[in-house]
Amino acid sequence: MAAVPAVAVNGVKVGSASQLYLESKAVKDTKSLISDLCRQFYNLGWVSGTGGSITIKVHDDSIPKPHQLIVMSPSGVQKERMVPEDMYVLSPEGSFLWEPSPKPYPHKPPKCSDCGPLFLKAYDMCNAGAVIHSHGIESCLVTMLNPLSKEFRITHMEMIKGIKGHGYYDELVVPIIENTAYEFELTESLAKAIEAYPKTTAVLVRNHGIYIWGDSWISAKTQAECYHYLFDAAIKLHQLGLDCSTPDHGPIRNVKGVLGCGGHISTSVKAGADSNHEIEPLRRCIVLDIEGTTTPISFVTEVLFPYARGNVGKHLSATYDTAETQDDIKLLRSQVQDDLKQGVVGAVPIPSDDAGKEDVIAALVANVEAMIRADRKITALKQLQGHIWQTGFENNELEGVVFADVPEALEKWHALGTKVYIYSSGSRLAQRLIFGNTNYGDLRKYLSGFFDTTVGNKREARSYVEISDSLGVDKPSEILFVTDVYQEAVAAKAAGLEVIISIRPGNAPLPDNHGFKTIKSFLEI
């Protein structure tokens, strides 16, 4: 064993002067656990050829997770033959505290995992308790279905429920980063993916494998099994010509840059035009998104959401006996019942009315706060938020915000006879409140109607088919849809609508070669 530098753990000095903690049962148990898991993962095909790795923090209730010691499997060792003595023990900052002894052959100690810097990054950014790196063939092949894709998407599969923060009806999104010659060179890309996808618990590496983390080794292992199952299902659906990224898993409608189960098709481009192809400037109807399109994302995330979250209990208490709030509660009860069946994280049972008003409200607040944290696009939440915001607008505590070019464009389109509609995940009430009380006055006179998620999810093509039918156009291409979300653009395009993507400050980056016209101002339309 190599010399162990001194390190403070929860105020207790652990180092060359004292090996008690490093030789404690907690550390030994973690080493044994990793060797057992490596053998199991080898049999699953995740760590063959000495590839792949796993790291677990030494669980100790007396030590906060960020300060717990780290046990890590080595590189270059046959995983099915690994023993506890082969493991490295690191400080929370990554310093070696314990190194394995040389092997009988080739008479040198195993080196620490090449994944070490990536493991430490996941610990630091995600407060993980364990990280698994798999070379499972499913996790490699699924990134190759579409070499232009930047993310993997799948929905309406039972095993999605095994991924933290997801239920059966949710869409699971896993970012994909490009492979490099050396493992440690992936660290920056991994960090950027975690920042761009704060809800993810995994990052795929193209032509390589996957990194998966969890609050504990149990969570990481469970999710790893679910991810591999879902990747295998996606590959098999693709072989059958079916699309795993749509709720009905119907025939593939491939779009460049999105990886569900699809590959490629070219987007329609006019002769002589580039990828930002021109579309006719005026349509019979224009449908606008709100967040990131007419309105800064920051207004929604930093003003509306905090206001709703901070006033849930107050609003429910003050309006509990009204028909409006009782209808909101009925919707929430139904949603939470479904969430509990699906195992959605944060869902807690809502007691019956016999339990008393205070207990019912407490449970409702807990569920609503969890829904808001997860940014769920569900009618029950959006309807309640709309009623809370209504009170805020009526009390002059809120004012809607739109970009400076929006009022002028709306006025121009109105004068030309073009009908303008709003389609947002926020309720129709919330939409009317925002546009009726903006920093430029009441803009509702320029709007012909409002659509929300009662017509369908904004990332599903059939929602835009429903809107087309509602507007009574002769063909969907007579509708121009403007949004900042690439997946919504793809869905609208699949339904036959013309699409423009809005580029505004604070919006998420678009995939390379996305194939859509973009604007920075409505005055460009």
* Binding-site residue set for Mg(2+): 289, 291, 484
With beta carbons less than 8 A apart as the criterion, state whether 388 and 311 touch: yes
What's the per-residue H, E or C state across 79-138? HHHCCHHHCEEECCCCCEEECCCCCCCCCCCCEECCCHHHHHHHHHHHCCCEEEEECCHH
With beta carbons less than 8 A apart as the criterion, state whether 371 and 378 touch: yes
The pair of three-digit structure tokens given for residue 510, joined into one six-digit string: 């678009």
**Which residues fall in the annotated binding site for substrate?**
115, 424-425, 458
Chain mean position to CA 51:
28
Long-range contacts of 509-514 (CB under 8 A, 24+ apart): 509/196, 510/486, 511/148, 511/149, 511/150, 511/257, 511/258, 511/486, 512/148, 512/150, 512/257, 513/148, 513/256, 513/257, 513/275, 514/256, 514/257, 514/275, 514/486, 514/489
**Which residues fall in the annotated binding site for Zn(2+)?**
133, 135, 208
- Distance between CA atoms of 189 and 180, rounded to whole angstroms? 10
- Distance between CA atoms of 175 and 452, rounded to whole angstroms? 28
Which position among 93, 99, 151, 158 bears the catalytic label?
158
Q: How far is CA 192 from CA 125, 186, 187, 514, in A?
A: 11, 10, 9, 20
If you count them, how many residues does the chain have?
Answer: 525
**Which residues fall in the annotated binding site?**
115, 133, 135, 208, 289, 291, 424-425, 458, 484
Give me the residues paired with residue 186 across strands. Answer: none
Chain mean position to CA 420:
31
- Distance between CA atoms of 164 and 468, rounded to whole angstroms? 36
Nearest to 423 by CA among 374, 475, 485: 485
Instruction: Bin 338: left if φ > 0, else alpha if -120 < ψ < 50, else beta.
Output: alpha
> What DSSP string runs through 298-353?
HHIIIIIHHHHHHTHHHHHHHHTTSHHHHHHHHHHHHHHHHHHHHT-TT--PPPPG
Q: Is 158 a catalytic residue?
A: yes
DSSP secondary structure letter of residue 160: G
- Distance between CA atoms of 304 and 295, rounded to whole angstroms? 12
With beta carbons less than 8 A apart as the criterion, state whether 231 and 206 touch: no
Residue 269 one-letter amino acid: V
With beta carbons less than 8 A apart as the criterion, state whether 312 and 388 touch: yes
Catalytic residues: 158
